[in-house]
Structure 1
Amino acid sequence: MRRIVSAALLVLAAVVVPAPAASADPGTPENKVLNSSDAPLGAVAVPAVADGISSDKVLVIGMDGLRHDRIAAADAPNLDTLIATGTFGASLLYTNPMAATSSGPGWSTIATGVWPDRHGVKDNSFSGKRYDLYPDFLTRLENLNPAYSTFAALDWKPLGDQGTFSSKIDSRVILDGDANGYPAEDARIATAAETVLRQQNPDAAFVYFGNTDIVAHNSGAASQAYLRAIATQDAYVGRLLAAVKARPSYPSERWTIVVTTDHGHTDGGGHGGSAIEERRTFVLAAGPGITAGARPLDTRLVDVTATAFNALGLGVPAGIDSRRINQRTGDPFENVPLSGRVDETGIPAGVLGFSHTLPASWTLDTSRMPSGGMQEWRGWSLTTDEFWSRAQRDQWRELNVRSRGTFAVADSDEWDDKSHGSGTYDSTLVTGGYPVAGKPSVRLGYTTHYRPEGAQKAQVLVSFDGGADVLVKNYTAETVSQVESLMVGVPAGASTMRVKFRYFDAANNWYWAIDQVTVS
């Protein structure tokens, strides 16, 4: 495809960047910030960045409103190469009432490694933000060791002003794309970041580009203008990668490159709602230890933080939702082949996302189920975020954010949408046997997303060596995407424990989803 030279590239050609000032002494960050008013439009005074301490480096590039399913149609050779040589995990966002599919919540989720129910940002007002409890990944590095050199270049001003990327970061360039226009500001950001990466020594950097979002709003994500905006930003990515490779110390360094976005867009332009296209996000990473060509289904948007820390040889911070992009869940649900729709007419035929086939040694009890109903949801089903939320929008199925990849659902609400025999929904999902011999107790873990209504019941039971069921958890209240950790006593002499998830006495009464069952 012929590369199209956009206005942003024409502006870029005129940018003049002053020579950087001398670097600060190692371990003495100066917390410098340069706003758009610090230099005339068309030039950015590049700050001095503290000299880094690590040969492991990470560069995170944010592209606002970038629909990952439009990259292939754009002239984007740098993104294409990163996708081919790295791990590319696509996923879907939450929706309201957890948070809108907007930039404030999206970038907060990326920066902090936690979902909006923790970081508190639900929309672009940033009201309720809890960055004091859940800081951005660069600030976490500074808190861990102030000798790390951190740098951020932003042209959506609230990301600096609201503290999404905090003033603890050694050096920040904060421009105002809303005031001066994102094509121009993206070009200035690219040049400033390129200079820092080539001539200075940060350990971790975040660079934000915003024009893809603006063009999608103005012309739609299905437009040629949007593809041209992707091509322009891809050229900026290429310049940043070239700057990294041009570093004199590059042969002795280990760089991880991460690219991500905060939300998607409708074909006609716009986001904030619950359409699948608005919810599309991705995390793309390439570097040491990251599998080339992988397309995992269990990646989530929160995973940038853990991936950045792992790139620097550090453990994942405690108390966050983030996982390394090269860490698979190990959940046996992920190995089950999925089928397309049967009775669900609102789900596109090409979307694969349900199965009643279970992992080896797991069983499904539907002996108390009436006949009929929607086949996809007759008894516990294995499904995916996209398939399940497409079944019915805006009933909080989209909030099941702590499940990953394939998960199990008992959905009496959807099952009841087709005529069935008399009686109520009653199905039990039974795990394989877990060895417990010689242990006084074990810890049962799983994610749960439970929405109650009416007389429905949800219980977690265990049985030892085929004996009587023992109730360990009875759900009576709503649990929106939580991680459970339950201690279960083991009878003397028991050797095997099975876990049972029973959902019953339900008709048109919402649902229960579980995932990542572990016994340790």
Structure 2
Amino acid sequence: MRARRKVATGFAILTIALPSPAYASAANADIGDIPEGTSARKVMLIDIDGVRWDKLKQVDTPNIDALASAGQIGPSYIHGTDVARTDSGPGHSNILTGTWPDKHRVKDNSFSGNNLDSYPDVLSRLETAKPELSTFSILDWQPINENIIGSPDAKMRQSTEGGARASDRRSTDTVVEALSRHNPDVGYVYFHEPDEMGHDVGSSSPEYLSAIEHVDAQIGRIVDAVKARDSYPEEDWLFLATTDHGFSYDEHGTNRHRTREVWTLAAGGDIPVTRTATRQWRQVDIPPTVFKHLGITPNPSWGWDGVPIGTASRDPFDTLKSSLRKAVDEPAKPDNLLGFTKYMPSGWSVEEKTPAVGVTEYRGWSLMTGQFWATSQSDQGRESFFRGRDVIAVADADEWNDKGDPVSDGKRLDSTLLSPWQNVQPGMSIKVSYLSHYRQVDRDADPQKAQLVLRFDDGTKSVLWSRKSSSGDAFDISKSESFSARIPAGVEKVRVGWRMYDAANNFYWAFDDPRITVA
């Protein structure tokens, strides 16, 4: 495969971050501080700094390939710059805390103003939840130790002497020794060289590709050390690998597609063996996956944003994944990225009043992947719907108007996405929850209105939420929304409508994972 930064075996985590202190104790542990483990289920988390997904697929990585063949690997995307730069600090914080930047508040590599005390790393969570587990970490990028990783049993610091390649090799030596002489339950290892080469000579250089291949060789040494353990036949290892960010030539931190595109690998344990990822597994899925493998139930108060890798989707929109098609009026997408569809899930429908003009993909509500949408126009906030995953619903009046300027002729987008009918009785309660990403600007010439509305079978309706651009600018970034109402007398059925209307060349509304509960 081609290296892109992050591989995991058993349960070891490798993470690479960029400098800037702000957290806890210094890392001065020795390998002798690793206590004897107590679990037959074990984890190796491998965090590789700055490995592009497209480059990972180009290079020779037999060890990553072997892990992928025993589990699954695939691309996903990180937050946009409206919430944090696409830097190592936020990326590693996502991976290790299981939360997005709007919670842990790591905005860049300075770590200033962070909220990591409220959202500790996965190793610290394990030490609290099950202190008898043996945990260790090894890395050379000190901001991770100083800011993110709190209190594993052995928190080790690797020297940077000789550069990242030498440092990565020594980190691997440490992991191999830990696996050979001790009995750890969870390990985290960070590899630095791809990021160093990306910055020094660019992510399209031979040196960058070679760095990925070198990290793959280190991963192979770790896997071999796991399999060489006398106790290996009785053990159940989970391997996780990922990266903190991509690259656009020699930089990151922006909203560019290759910078936001990351990847995740999982193998072993109960991970379904499909080789290609069954969903867009996110950085924040790492901690829940670790806990599930170890048989520990996370506390809901921790506020984790991820799900265990392998979790089946309950989102009706995701059932249309196989119906996604290539761009029609939109410019060609990177790697022929899929896609969009006008089909809706069973029982769902669109009440379309938008004139049959403008950009086809955005003529009223459509289903599409978040990255298909984000690549339509960068730096306008579309990239920041980080809680939406796989297939999402989008109504985007700004993009719709990009073909032929129908707004100049007085035309408006007016589209309502309707849920299936729900059988109800008067006095019952209905709850509607979903993930929402909404933006409007106060611009007289280009209005925009939106509603969440209940439609009853007697012809009446009830508005649960509404917005209009004349009330002022609004940008609701990747929010979890929930609304409840009582069913009135004389009603036997109800459906939910997400309506965008009287919308000119303003902005957009996207939502995902709608859930409707009647009680």
Q: After superposition, what is the alpha-carbon deviation per residue over 1:119-145, rounded to whole angstroms, capped at 9, x for unaligned? A: 011111011211111011111111223
The percentage of counterpart residues that share the same residue type is 40
AA aligned to 1:463 is R
Aligned pair 1:193/2:200, yes or no? no
Q: Distance in 2 between matches of 1:347 and 1:75?
A: 26
Tell whether 2:288 aligns with 1:306: yes
Q: Which position in structure 2 is the counterpart of 1:413?
A: 398
1:169 maps onto 2:144 in alignment: no
1:345 counterpart = 2:356: no
TM-superposition CA deviations, 1:248-276 (whole Å, max 9, x none): 2222221110000000112x322111111
Helix, strand or coil: the match of 1:34?
coil
Query: Could you tell me how far 1:495 is from its partner in structure 2?
Result: 4.9
Partners in 2 of 1:121 and 1:262 — Cα distance? 13
| Separation in 2, partners of 1:199, 1:347 | 50
Other-structure match for 2:70: 85
Give the Cα–Cα distance (whole angstroms) in 2 for the partners of residues 408 and 358 of structure 1. Answer: 10
Which of 200, 203, 213 aligns to 2:195? It is 213
> Could you say which residue in structure 1 is the equivalent of 2:452?
460
Deviation sequence 1:81-121 (CA, Å, 0-9, x none)? 11122122311122212111110010001010111111011
1:317–1:211 Cα change, 3 Å = farther
- The one of 304, 322, 332 equivalent to 2:316 is 332
Contact kept, 8 Å, 2:458 with 2:490, in 1: the verdict is no
1:473 and 2:465 equivalent? yes
User: 1:382–1:322: structure 2 CA closer, same or farther, 3 Å change rule?
Assistant: same
Distance 1:192 1:493 in 2: 71
Task: Identify the match of residue 253 of structure 2 among 272, 277, 281.
Answer: 272
Q: Distance in 1 between matches of 2:177 and 2:396?
A: 54
The answer to whether 1:427 aligns with 2:415 is yes
Given candidates 15, 28, 35, the residue that maps to 1:34 is 28
Give distance in 1, aligned partners of 2:427 and 2:222.
54
* Alpha-carbon distance between aligned partners in 2 of 1:451 and 1:435, rounded to the nearest angstrom: 33
Partner Cα separation in structure 1 for residue 464 and residue 185 of structure 2:
47
**Alignment of 1:366 onto 2:366:** no
Could you list the runs of 5+ residues in structure 2 that have no partner in the other structure?
2-24, 469-473
Q: Partner residue of 1:442? A: 430
Deviation at 1:159, TM superposition (A): 0.5
In the alignment, what sits opposite 2:381?
Answer: 396
Cα drift, residue 148 of structure 1: 2.0
Q: Distance in 2 between matches of 1:364 and 1:105?
A: 38
1:341 corresponds to which letter in structure 2?
Answer: A
CA contact (8 A) 1:159 1:165 kept: yes
Measured after TM superposition, the shift of residue 487 of structure 1 is 2.1
Which residue in the other structure is 2:20 paired with?
Answer: none
**Aligned-pair CA distance for 1:496:** 3.8
Give the structure 1 partner of residue 11 of structure 2.
none
CA distance in 2 between counterparts of 1:493 and 1:81 reads 61
SS in 2 for 1:398: helix
Residue 180 of structure 1: how far off its partner (Å): 4.6
8 Å CA contact 2:137–2:154 kept in 1: the answer is: yes
Matching residue's letter, 1:357: Y
Partner of 1:6 in structure 2? none
Trace 1:38-77 onto structure 2 (pairs within 5 A): 46-77=31-62
Secondary structure of 2:215's counterpart equals helix
1:233 corresponds to which residue? Answer: 215
Q: Would you say 1:246 and 2:238 are equivalent positions?
A: no
Question: Which one of 110, 113, 118 corresponds to residue 98 of structure 2?
Answer: 113
The Cα of 1:309 is off from its aligned counterpart by 0.8
Distance 2:412 2:57 in 1: 47
Q: 1:412 to 1:127 in 2, by over 3 A?
A: same
Contact 1:53 1:147 in 2 (8 A): yes
The answer to whether the 8 A contact 1:256-1:288 is kept is: yes
Once the two structures are overlaid, the 10-residue window that deviates more, 459-468 or 433-442, is 433-442
Cα distance in 1 between the residues matched to 2:133 and 2:412: 59
After TM superposition, the structure 1 stretch with the greater mean CA deviation from structure 2, 48-57 or 181-190, is 48-57
- Amino acid corresponding to residue 169 of structure 1 in structure 2: P
| TM-score, length-scaled by structure 1 | 0.87
- 1:149 and 1:348 map into 2 onto residues whose CA distance is 43
- 1:132 maps to a residue whose letter is D
**Residue 139 and residue 434 in structure 1: after superposition, are their counterparts in 2 closer, same or farther (change >3 A)?**
farther
Q: Does structure 2 retain, via aligned residues, the 8 Å contact 1:346–1:391?
A: no
Query: Would you say the 8 A contact 1:316–1:323 is kept in 2?
Result: no
Report the CA distance between 1:71 and its aligned residue: 2.2
The one-letter code sitting in structure 1 at the alignment partner of 2:231 is S
| Residue 493 (structure 1) shift | 7.2
- Give the Cα–Cα distance (whole angstroms) in 2 for the partners of residues 286 and 225 of structure 1: 28
Counterpart among 242, 247, 250 of residue 260 in structure 1:
242
* Equivalent AA in structure 2 for residue 309 of structure 1: F
Deviates more, 1:87-96 or 1:377-386: 87-96
Deviation at 1:435, TM superposition (A): 4.5
Cα pair 2:201 2:208 within 8 Å, conserved: yes
**Which amino acid letter does the alignment assign opposite residue 427 of structure 1?**
S
CA contact (8 A) 1:440 1:492 kept: no
Measured in 2, the distance between the counterparts of 1:332 and 1:250 equals: 41
Q: Is the 8 A contact 1:120 1:128 kept in 2?
A: yes
- Alpha-carbon distance between aligned partners in 2 of 1:331 and 1:97, rounded to the nearest angstrom: 26
| Mapped partners of 1:409, 1:57: distance in 2 | 41
Compared CA separation, residues 317 and 263, structure 1 to 2 (3 A): farther
Task: Tell me: CA distance 1:136–1:174, structure 2 relative to 1, closer, same or farther (3 Å).
Answer: same
Q: How large is the RMSD of aligned CA atoms in angstroms?
A: 2.1
Structure 2 counterpart of 1:135: 120
Among residues 266, 271, 282, which one is paired with 2:263 in the alignment?
Answer: 282
**CA separation of 1:463 and 1:351: change in aligned 2, threshold 3 A:** same
Shift of 1:440: 2.4
SS for the counterpart of 2:155 is strand
Instruction: Measure, in 1, the Cα distance between the counterparts of 2:26 and 2:233.
Output: 29
2 CA distance for matches of 1:349 and 1:229? 23
Contact 1:33 1:47 in 2 (8 A): no
Partner SS state of residue 33, structure 2: coil
Pair 1:381 & 2:366 matched: yes
Aligned-partner Cα distance in 2 for 1:493–1:301: 48
Is the 1:61–1:258 Cα contact (8 Å) retained in structure 2? yes
Distance 1:372 1:292 in 2: 45
Q: How far off is 1:439 after superposition?
A: 7.7
1:40 corresponds in structure 2 to none
